[in-house]
Amino acid sequence: DLKGRKAVITGSTSGIGLAFAEGLAKMGVDITLNGFGDQGEIEDNRARIAGETGVDVRYDGADMTKPQEIRDLIKGAEAAHGRVDILVNNAGIQKVAPIDEYDDEVWDRIIAINLTSNYHTIKAALPGMKERKFGRIVNIASAHGLVASPFKSAYNAAKHGVVGLTKTVALEAAEFGVTCNAICPGFTLTPLLEAQMADNAKARGITEEEAKAKLLNDAHATKEFVTYDNLVGMLAYLCSDAGSGATGYPYAVDAGWTAH
C-alpha cells in the first residue's frame, strides 16, 4: 500500500539511507535523495534506482547543517512530487573520542546534523502532512538513542535527543493521521561504521579486526551485524497503512543489544 507515496530521505547517498531509497522505490514510492558524495556516483544511483523500479527519483544536495537549505529541500520535494507523505531523517555522522579530548566544532556539527536537522525537516514537512491528514515521519536514531557507549558523547546525546523529539512530534501530530517514530539500529556495516571502527580501535589501542569482533561480542546477542533488509522491513511497516496505530516509539532493530 505504499505505491504512489512520496518520500524524502535525508542522507540517502550512502549506507542505510541509500538502502531505504532502494527499498521504498521497489515498493512504488517516488523518492527525493539527499546527501553528499561524488556527483557522478549520486547520478548513477539516482538513474539506476529509477530505471530498476520505474518511480521518479530526484536528488537535492541540501546540507543538513543549513536550516534554509533544509526548508528548500522540503519545498522542492513538495513542488516536484505534489506532497511529502514520508519523511525519513537519516543523515548522520559519528566521531569517536574521549570527552576530555572532544573537538568543540565536531560536537556542534554532530548535534546539528544528527538532531537539529530533524527539527527543521519536521517543522517544514508537518504542516502539509497535517493538512492532508496523512504523514509518516521516521527518524533514524540508534541503539545509542536508548543506551550509551563510551567515547560517543555527541552522538549519544544527539540520538537520545532524537528519541525525545520523536515522542513530542508523535503527540502533537497524532490526531492528524501523522505518525512519528524512531528506528534504533544496532551496528550495520556501512561506510560510517567502517570509519568508526578505525577510530574506535585507536581509542582502545586494539586492531580494527579486534574492534569489530569485540563490538559484535559485547553488543549483539545474535553475534551478527544488522542488515539493510532488517531496517527496510521496519521502515516499510512504519510507513504502511497498518502502521497507523504505531506512533511515538523508538523501535530497536539491534540484534538483541538493548535486551541485555
Q: What strands, in cross-sheet order, belong to the sheet with 30-34?
A: 57-60, 30-34, 6-9, 86-89, 135-140, 178-185, 250-253
Nearer to ligand NAD, 134 or 152 (CB): 152
Nearer to ligand NAD, 132 or 210 (CB): 210
Q: Which of 119, 155, 228, 251 is labelled catalytic?
A: 155
Annotated catalytic residue 59: no
Minimal distance, residue 146 CB to ligand NAD, in Å? 11
Minimal distance, residue 150 CB to ligand NAD, in Å? 16
Residue pair 238/183 in contact by the 8 Å Cβ criterion: yes
Minimal distance, residue 159 CB to ligand NAD, in Å? 7
Give the number of residues written for the chain: 260
Residue found by looking up cell 530498476 in the block: 52
Minimal distance, residue 192 CB to ligand NAD, in Å? 3
**Residues in CB range of 106: below 8 A, 6 or more apart:** 95, 97, 154
Catalog residues that contact ligand NAD under the rule CB under 6 A: 10-17, 34-37, 63-65, 90-93, 113-114, 140, 142, 185, 187-188, 190-193
Nearer to ligand NAD, 130 or 221 (CB): 221
- Give the amino acid at 30: D
Q: Provide the 3-class DSSP secondary structure of residue 246.
A: coil
Q: Provide the 3-class DSSP secondary structure of residue 70.
A: helix
Phi, psi angles (nearest 5°) of residue 181? -135, 165
Handedness of CA 165, 250, 129, 112 (dihedral sign): positive
Nearer to ligand NAD, 122 or 140 (CB): 140
Query: Catalytic positions, please?
Result: 155
